[in-house]
Chains A and B, each alone.
Chain A
Amino acid sequence: MEPVSTRRLSVPATDDGIRAALDALEALTASHGLSKAVTWPVGVSLDEVLANVVRHGLEGRGGEATVDLEMRLDLGVEPAECEVVVVDDGPEFDPLSVPEPDRALGIEERPIGGLGMALVRRLMDEVQYERRDGKNRLRLRRRLVAMEA
């Protein structure tokens, strides 16, 4: 088996596109026998990033806009590593610049929203943002080990 397995795809900037991307990630990891017990943090993070891009960055452009994805599994290292790059041509936006929500607030004051990228930062080993060729490029990487808070 090749130690590195990649999957490239473009999905529309819609709910169906998000679903297709998450399905593709599951299919890629499952095809190499990786358990959901170790892949779920990548799924959560990809959902957070795509929800941001589709609902904000590309909002209003509907099915015309697309998001390009490159998923890469490195099975030649122990533990295996998963990398996902998400590219969109929306306005320049670094999701890592969003401040974290205040975790000390009680249930009444807790704002609805602002949590997504905070989770991505904690779930991934590495998150990198880059504006290149007029596009936003976010790279997520995680070593596929079981995780418990």
Chain B
Amino acid sequence: MHIGEERVGGALVIAPEGRVDSVSSTELERLVVSRIDAGEKRLVLDLSSVEYISSAGLRVLLMAAKRLKGPPAALVLCGMGPSVRTVLELAGFLPLFAVEAGREQALARVRG
């Protein structure tokens, strides 16, 4: 799986591409954990290039949200297409996350 990364100011944007399934989600998890362990506090997950996400990927999102809870840390999701949004909705996950439409709004929000 290709995972894009871009640093914008004090925030890091992580953008996985393709399927976030039970196999590829371990790659995403490894990357997110390593960035948080390295001290990253403001994370944007841009999901605009994700084809679909299964529960293994949701677990990575949940783990990241738990670890980045409360100021000054923050996690914001953006770029959700219908498939990603539907899975989060069906799982009852949408209320658990800060969600913005695009990357610019997400960056504004994650900076507080």
**Which A positions have Cβ atoms within 8 angstroms of B?**
15, 18-19, 22, 36-37, 40-41, 43-44, 47-48, 50-51, 55, 103-104, 106-108, 110, 112-113, 115-116, 118-119, 122-123, 146-149
Contacts and interface: CB of A to CB of B under 8 A. Distances in A.
Contacts of B90: 118-119, 122-123, 149
B15 to A, nearest CB: 18
Contacts of A18: 21-23
B66 A50 contact: no
Interface residues of chain B: helix, strand, loop or mixed (majority): helix
A52 B53 CA distance: 16
A112 B65 CA distance: 12
A50 B55 CA distance: 12
A119 B62 contact: no
Contact of A112 (B19, B62, B83): B62
B39 interface: no
B95 to A, nearest CB: 9
Contacts of B83: 36-37, 40-41, 44
A83 B76 CA distance: 36
B2 interface: no
Given A110-B96, A148-B86, A115 B22 contact: no
B11 interface: no
Contacts of B63: 112
Contacts, number: 87
A74 to B, nearest CB: 22
A149 to B, nearest CB: 3
Contacts of A36: 51-52, 83
B96 A44 contact: no
B22 A149 contact: no
Nearest to B21: A47
B19 A119 contact: no
B82 interface: yes
A18 B22 CA distance: 8
Contacts of A22: 19, 21
Contacts of B21: 18-19, 22, 43-44, 47, 51
Contacts of B62: 107, 110, 112
Contact of B22 (A40, A50, A110): A50
A37, A116, A118, A146, most chain B CB atoms within 10 A: A116
Contacts of B82: 37, 146-148
